């Protein structure tokens, strides 16, 4: 008996490798499969810890800190008067040891890098379908951050008050004037030098301070439902990205493009196409076309959350009579869906878990962390403190017991496989495959229980590092199996009789190789090739 993945597609392909038959289910969308293939390629080049595609959110936050740190120093050096702004920034080019180039270049190129990372982050979440059910709110709160970033970035070019800043601010004013928002056209402020006062430059500075603060505040809303959020990328990726920015600053120093002159229109300019693309687009069409395109872009960003999301899987259920209030599920939940409330038994000193259905990811990680989920409990029906209705821990124990009895022998192996990882069903007479919603829902004691119930070896298969569909399932599973996190796999369990492998949708050969390695570790006799339908 095996648990079939609720996500599995009917479309399967039967293959054979190393004497084992297996089927692969194409459950992932084409977009998700293509994205995972790209992530896997970068895993091979730089490893999961330095793979930027697996740390886009943290990388964006890191770039934001670099922007704010370099921006504070630039603000100290900036003369906010209309006459002195250009001179104060242009003087950075004469700073000893090219420190001015490093400062200004880091600020500019970090802005461009942020725009790129932001775009790739949106594409990744869209490709993987991370906008449904419990992920709707992070997606919705993320859309305004896109607008706040571009407002802040475009506004930053105005502070330099060179020809490029002049072009950007006048183009923006004319673009805004197309909307019936102001009593008098904004473009009148930029007709000549006499109409431009120091107060206007000061207003630009306050905008460039206020909008990023709104961005940081919005970022808090964006991640406040995510527990154990990584707001800093791995050290290698952080320092590597900073080194790239510094090298770009030296190789391609950012220079001012001549002081602003309102008496004449700017000529040929070196545009920053990552941020200022909207200006030539409006120039080539019309202001209303520009607004229509912006509205269409943000409508497309909001479209995923407006589409039917399909049936939502059942959420975790708490059984008060078995909940001890240990807080393990509270600590392990990836999306802060669990809170501790007064216990139903009325004891003032006890608390119990409560599940917020809107936040629950239906991953089962909480069930894997519950101390009452151990299969060694001598009860006919195993009821835990918190469990998943679609795959209770009791059903997993019964599947394991009955499946092992059904295997003909002489050797028996158990594979606990994550339904979100490799979509593979092993068809071999000596292998029992038990599906899990997430590898993190497996209590480590099930490994020992399987070995005592007659299994000669146990394999735990979860998603690749950094690729867990529920963020923390792979990490918590690894830490539980290695004794770094409770509940732990007991040290008395022979290490040669269980293995863990981290595989994804395209890693069926790696899973089969892990099964073969488990067999070799036990010096098991070869199993006659046989296909089980």
In the chain, what are the domain boundaries?
12-29+390-521, 48-306
For 258-271, what is the mean pLDDT? 87
Q: In this model, does residue 245 exceed pLDDT 70?
A: yes
Query: Given this model, what pLDDT does residue 23 score?
Result: 53
Q: Would you say 340 and 365 are in contact if contact means Cβ atoms under 8 Å apart?
A: no
Contacts of 28 by beta carbon, 8 Å cutoff, 6+ apart: 36, 423, 505
Q: Is the dihedral of CA 295, 296, 301, 302 positive or negative?
A: positive
Could you tell me the pLDDT band of residue 146, with boundaries at 50, 70 and 90?
very high
Does 127 have pLDDT greater than 90? Answer: yes
**Cα 149 from chain centroid (whole Å):** 19
Mean pLDDT of the chain: 89
Confidence label for 498 from pLDDT (cuts 50, 70 and 90): very high
Q: pLDDT grade, residue 187 (50/70/90)? A: confident
What pLDDT shows up at residue 81?
Answer: 87
- Rg of the chain over Cα atoms, rounded to whole angstroms, equals 29
For residue 415, list its beta bridge partners: 433, 459
Q: Are 290 and 278 in contact (CB under 8 A)?
A: yes
Provide the pLDDT for residue 531: 34
Local structure of residue 442 (DSSP, 8 states): S
Q: What is the mean predicted confidence (pLDDT) over 104-111?
A: 97
Residue 93 has pLDDT above 50, yes or no: yes
Where are any strands of DSSP class E within 391-505? Answer: 413-418, 424-427, 431-436, 457-462, 498-502
Cα separation, 54 vs 240, whole angstroms: 15
Averaged pLDDT for residues 482-487? 96
User: Which CATH code for domain 48-306?
Assistant: 1.20.810.10
Q: Is it the case that residue 182 has pLDDT exceeding 80? A: no
pTM over cut 0.85: yes
pLDDT for the residue numbered 65: 96
DSSP 135-167: GHHHHHHHHHHHHHHHHHHHHHHHHH-BHHHHH
Residue pLDDT, tens place only, 398-422: 999 999 999 998 999 999 999 988 7
Structure tokens at 90: 């242009």
Distance from the Cα of residue 204 to its chain's centroid: 34
C-alpha–C-alpha distance, residues 32 and 129, integer Å = 8
Q: Which of 106-120, 168-182, 219-233, 514-528 has the highest mean pLDDT?
A: 106-120
Where do the H-state alpha helices sit in 285-392?
287-306, 328-332, 365-369
Question: For 367-395, how does the pLDDT look when each residue is reduced to its tens digit (9 = 90+)?
Answer: 999 999 999 998 899 999 999 999 999 99
Share of the chain above pLDDT 70, in %: 90
CA dist 355 and 99 (Å) reads 53
Quick one: pLDDT at residue 522?
62
């Amino acid at each position: 008996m095996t648990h079939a993945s609720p996500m599995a597609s009917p479309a399967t392909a039967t293959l054979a490798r190393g004497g084992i038959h297996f089927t692969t289910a194409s459950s992932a969308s084409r977009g998700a499969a293509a994205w995972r293939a790209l992530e896997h390629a970068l895993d091979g080049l730089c490893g999961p810890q330095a793979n930027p595609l697996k740390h886009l959110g943290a990388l964006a936050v890191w770039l934001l800190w670099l922007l704010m740190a370099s921006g504070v120093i630039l603000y100290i050096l900036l003369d906010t008067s209309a006459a002195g702004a250009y001179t104060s920034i242009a003087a950075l080019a004469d700073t000893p040891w090219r420190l001015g180039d490093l400062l200004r270049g880091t600020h500019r190129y970090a802005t461009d890098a942020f725009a790129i990372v932001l775009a790739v982050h949106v594409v990744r979440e869209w490709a993987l379908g991370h906008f449904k059910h419990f992920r709707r709110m992070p997606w919705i709160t993320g859309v305004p951050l896109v607008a706040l970033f571009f407002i802040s970035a475009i506004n930053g070019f105005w502070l330099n008050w060179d020809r490029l800043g002049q072009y950007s601010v006048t183009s923006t004013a004319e673009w805004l004037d197309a909307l019936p928002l102001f009593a008098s056209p904004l473009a009148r402020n930029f007709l000549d030098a006499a109409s431009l006062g120091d107060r206007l430059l000061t207003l630009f500075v306050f905008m460039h301070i206020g909008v990023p603060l709104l961005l940081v505040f919005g970022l808090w809303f964006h991640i406040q439902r995510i527990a154990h959020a990584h707001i800093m990328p791995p050290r290698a990726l952080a320092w590597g990205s900073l080194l790239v920015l510094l090298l770009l600053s030296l190789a391609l120093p950012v220079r001012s493009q001549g002081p602003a002159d309102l008496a004449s229109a700017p000529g040929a300019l070196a545009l920053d196409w990552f941020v200022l693309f909207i200006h030539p687009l409006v120039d080539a069409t019309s202001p209303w076309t520009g607004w229509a395109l912006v509205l269409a872009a943000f409508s497309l960003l909001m479209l995923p959350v407006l589409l039917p999301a399909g049936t939502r899987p059942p959420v975790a259920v708490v059984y008060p009579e078995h909940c001890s209030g240990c807080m393990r599920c509270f600590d392990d939940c990836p999306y802060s869906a669990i809170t501790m409330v007064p216990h139903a038994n009325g004891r003032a000193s006890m608390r119990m878990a409560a599940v917020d259905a809107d936040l629950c990811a239906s991953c089962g990680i909480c069930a894997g962390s519950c101390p009452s989920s151990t299969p060694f409990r001598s009860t006919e029906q195993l009821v835990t403190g918190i469990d998943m209705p679609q795959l209770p821990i009791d059903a997993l124990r019964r599947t394991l017991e009955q499946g092992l009895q059904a295997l003909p022998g002489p050797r028996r192996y158990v594979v606990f496989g994550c339904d979100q990882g490799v979509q593979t069903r092993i068809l071999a007479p000596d292998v029992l495959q038990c599906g899990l919603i997430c590898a993190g829902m497996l209590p480590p004691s099930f490994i020992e229980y399987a070995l005592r119930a007659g299994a000669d070896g146990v394999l735990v298969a979860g998603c690749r590092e950094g690729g867990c569909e529920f963020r923390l399932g792979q990490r918590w599973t690894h830490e539980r199996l290695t004794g770094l996190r409770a509940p732990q796999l007991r040290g008395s369990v022979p290490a040669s009789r269980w293995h863990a492998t981290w595989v994804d949708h395209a890693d069926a050969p790696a899973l089969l190789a892990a099964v073969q390695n488990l067999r070799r570790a036990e010096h098991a006799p070869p199993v006659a090739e046989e296909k089980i339908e």
